Amino acid sequence: MTARANNKKHTPKFRHSATLWALGLILATAVYVATPWGQQSEARLGLNWLYQTRGALTPPDKVIVLAITPDTADQLGFPEGLSQWPRSVHARLLTHLTEAGATAVVMDLFFRQPGDPDEDRAFSRALSTAGNIVLFAQRERQYLPPPHSGTLDRLIRPMPDFARNARATAPFFLTRFPDQVVYFPLRLSTAQAEVTLPVAALRLTHPALAKTLEARPSDHAWFNLYGPPRTLTTLDYAEVLRNPGAYELKGAAIFVGFSARYQAGQRDEFRTVFTQADGLDISGVELLATAYANLRDGFTLTPAGPLSNAAWVLAWGGLLLGLTWRWPKWLLLSGLMTSLALFGISYTLFSTLQFWLPLSTLLLGLFPLLLLLAYRRHWLATRESQAQLHTAFSHYLPEEEILAIRKADGRLPEGTVQPAICLVTDARGYTRLSEQLALEDLGELMRHYYAALIDPLKQHGAVISDVTGDGLIALWPMKSAESTSQVLQGLAALDQSLEQFRERFPKYPLPTGMALHEGEAMLGHFGAADAYEYRALGDLVNTTARLEGVGKQLGLNRVYSAEALVATNEPPESWRYLGDFLLVGKQTPVELYTAPAGIPELDHSIQNLREHSLSGETCAALLSQLQSLRACYPSDGPLRFLEAHLRQASSEAAGNNGKGNGCFPIRLSHK
């Protein structure tokens, strides 16, 4: 099977299954985004795009971070290690913040070990006096050994005296999802009611809201980050301690903890979408303050649930599928417009309603694959259509001409002059047969007859120039040495095909006359306006057609010119010579041959008569010699024709006082 046939076989199959492939792809993507792995992928890419597009926001009001940096110890004249600071300095800070009107102070510092007793007592008194201080408690997670499973969380609180005098103690811990911090805990765990620092702070500033949050079934909420590190209002611990009156702190929630200005000074690593190029992360205390502000202002991010994610993918996948399947020529535009619309809607929901829907899985996964599938389907459909047109035109044009028209962008190529061997056929007895048969029967018969003619010729490189009611004109352009073998193979295949036709239709054998000649012809499209025909023009075609008529007069089904035999590497002397025929209107006679009969006397008879004519013998003398041959071969058509010709030539010579045109070449009196 040829490559083209193979393509035609499989192309429709792919086209019909392409829709199922696309629907399966959409469904698989919908299932994927409904899984934790799909949400993690979106957190890594899609959520980043939305944040980066939105950029930094105005920091929330009345939320302040008091940052302890590597420079703070130097400014205060203390050792770098926080555990070595006198705790009275924290007591002074709490006194200043209370006097300034802070509503809550959350200290993201862990006071686990006792220090100087006097310093600890001072700090404990400050905690008690302020009455609005929340201290950090550390979560310790234990993994249960088999046969048990799961984890057990317990809290390690600060020193008992500090914990007793503080308003509350609570943990705050962060989990990477998958490699970034995107959500924060509300409780120690689902099974444990212990709240975390953001909720504990809200108990002081917004008790009703805190109570609502404690009743939520979920044990975590999603960050809605305000921007890069230090986007929140950030004051230096040392500056506030030295000059608390310089800052507006009334009604503010204050969060105290480590917050570096550069990557080398950071104490913890919490990678987020806003992690800086130099590696600086948003500090833990700033994330704590962000969580508080998100909860206070109802600004937490709301990710769509699994069913919503799946429905979102199905809707957009179905939309793109419909557009690309309906308008395949606008494939790229459909993909671009759908992608822009998807991003626009996703961004609007994210920036105005804090609602997060899948984005990257669609833009980087589903959409490109659907576009490739649609492109493949469209390409195969176009290729199939072109193959169908190609097949349709191949019934009228040779392969090379179809390719030439395609290269010429639909314009008709100019005709080309080239040497060729021309074959003209004629169905003998067709006229009589057409009178006897009904048109339907005649049409069916001729359909099989032309198949017997055309198929073997085209299979061996022949160009069908013209098809008439009972014959055809075919040419073999002589382009290479292979063309010669194609002619001989084509003629042999033609004989075999016609023999099979006669066996199939013994009542209507349609004997076929043929003539073969060689010369130059112009192959091209001839006509005007919208009526063109691809055919061969030139003397070669006309001469071959008239030679076929000569063969009919000779009573032969095959005649070959000497030029045709030479072109096919067949030595003329091994064929039966029929004579030199001067066609009407021609100046040069054509030597004609036919297949030898296998009888030397018969095969050389006309050649011998020609030699006697050239030696000066009269037509009457030649006629006398011919009659003896005719007695031996009474049914031989060429001898019968030559006898009639010699009688006419002798009569003309007698009427002209012995003068005539000679016996050879044989001059034909009609076309």
Query: What value does the mean pLDDT take over residues 566-577?
Result: 91
Tokens 């302020």: give the residue: 130
Euclidean distance between CA atoms 503 and 626, whole angstroms: 37
Q: What is the DSSP letter of 586?
A: -
> Which pLDDT belongs to residue 398?
60
Helices first, then strands: H and E counts in the chain: 25, 23
Query: What value does the mean pLDDT take over residues 307-334?
Result: 91
Query: What value does the mean pLDDT take over residues 543-562?
Result: 94
71/384: higher pLDDT: 71
> Which pLDDT belongs to residue 529?
58
How many alpha carbons fall within 13 Å on the CB side of residue 162? 28
Euclidean distance between CA atoms 264 and 582, whole angstroms: 108
Of the candidates 101, 104, 60, the one whose C-alpha atom is nearest the C-alpha of residue 249 is: 101
Q: Answer whether residue 663 shows pLDDT above 60.
A: yes
> Which pLDDT belongs to residue 527?
63
Q: Answer whether residue 15 shows pLDDT above 60.
A: no
Give pLDDT tens digits for 203-244.
999 999 999 999 888 889 999 999 999 999 999 999 999 998
The top-scoring range by mean pLDDT among 105-114, 261-270, 617-626 is 105-114
Given a contact cutoff of 8 angstroms between Cβ atoms, the answer to whether 21 and 325 are in contact is no
Query: What value does the mean pLDDT take over residues 183-202?
Result: 90
Q: Answer whether residue 394 shows pLDDT above 70.
A: no
Residues in the chain: 671
Mean pLDDT score of the chain: 87
Given a contact cutoff of 8 angstroms between Cβ atoms, the answer to whether 361 and 339 are in contact is no
Give pLDDT tens digits for 614-638.
888 888 888 888 888 888 999 999 9
Q: For the range 534-537, what are the long-range contacts, defined as Cβ-Cβ under 8 Å and sequence gap of 24 or more? A: 534/396, 534/397, 534/401, 534/465, 535/465, 535/466, 535/473, 536/420, 536/422, 536/463, 536/465, 536/466, 536/473, 536/475, 537/415
Euclidean distance between CA atoms 607 and 306, whole angstroms: 99
Given a contact cutoff of 8 angstroms between Cβ atoms, the answer to whether 384 and 11 are in contact is yes
Give pLDDT tens digits for 367-383.
999 999 888 888 877 77
Euclidean distance between CA atoms 556 and 66, whole angstroms: 117
Q: Which two tokens stand for residue 14?
A: 């792919």
Cα separation values, 421 from 235, 517, 590, Å: 100, 6, 15
> Which pLDDT belongs to residue 186?
95
Euclidean distance between CA atoms 220 and 189, whole angstroms: 9
Burial class (CB in 10 A: 0-12, 13-18, 19+), 533: exposed
Q: Answer whether residue 154 shows pLDDT above 50.
A: yes
Q: Which residues of 458-480 are buried (b: 16+ CB within 10 A; e: fewer)?
A: bebbbbbbbeeebbbbbbbbbee
Residue 648: enclosing H or E segment and its boundaries? Answer: helix 637-655
3-state secondary structure of 575: coil
Q: What is the CA radius of gyration of the chain?
A: 51
Given a contact cutoff of 8 angstroms between Cβ atoms, the answer to whether 161 and 124 are in contact is yes
Region for residue 21 given its phi and psi (left: phi exceeds 0; alpha: psi -120 to 50; beta: otherwise): alpha
Of the candidates 261, 212, 223, 214, the one whose C-alpha atom is nearest the C-alpha of residue 67 is: 261
Which residues are paired to 257 by β-bridges? 67
Q: Answer whether residue 270 shows pLDDT above 90.
A: no
Q: Which two tokens stand for residue 271?
A: 């990678």
Lowest mean pLDDT among 275-284, 340-349, 519-528: 519-528
Q: Is the peptide bond before 477 cis (omega within 30 degrees of 0)?
A: no
Query: What value does the mean pLDDT take over residues 341-364?
Result: 96
> Which pLDDT belongs to residue 6?
44
Confidence of residue 457 (pLDDT cuts 50, 70, 90): very high
Q: Where are the alpha helices (DSSP H) in 537-580?
A: 539-554, 562-567
Tokens 């799961």: give the residue: 150
Give pLDDT tens digits for 468-509.
778 899 998 887 767 788 898 999 999 999 999 999 999 988
Query: What value does the mean pLDDT take over residues 39-68?
Result: 95
Q: Answer whether residue 405 shows pLDDT above 70.
A: no
Q: DSSP letter string over 513-527?
A: EEEEEEEEEEEEEEE
Of the candidates 115, 113, 111, 114, the one whose C-alpha atom is nearest the C-alpha of residue 137 is: 111
3-state secondary structure of 538: coil
Give pLDDT tens digits for 124-135.
999 999 999 999
Q: Answer whether residue 329 shows pLDDT above 50.
A: yes
The number of angstroms, rounded, from the C-alpha of 366 to the middle of its chain's C-alpha atoms is 14
Which residues are paired to 593 by β-bridges? 560, 577
Q: What is the DSSP letter of 176?
A: B
> Which pLDDT belongs to residue 9?
44
Query: What value does the mean pLDDT take over residues 643-648?
Result: 88
Given a contact cutoff of 8 angstroms between Cβ atoms, the answer to whether 291 and 299 are in contact is no
Q: Answer whether residue 1 shows pLDDT above 50.
A: no
Q: Where are the alpha helices (DSSP H) in 268-330?
A: 284-296, 306-326
Give pLDDT tens digits for 158-189.
999 999 999 999 999 998 888 899 999 999 87
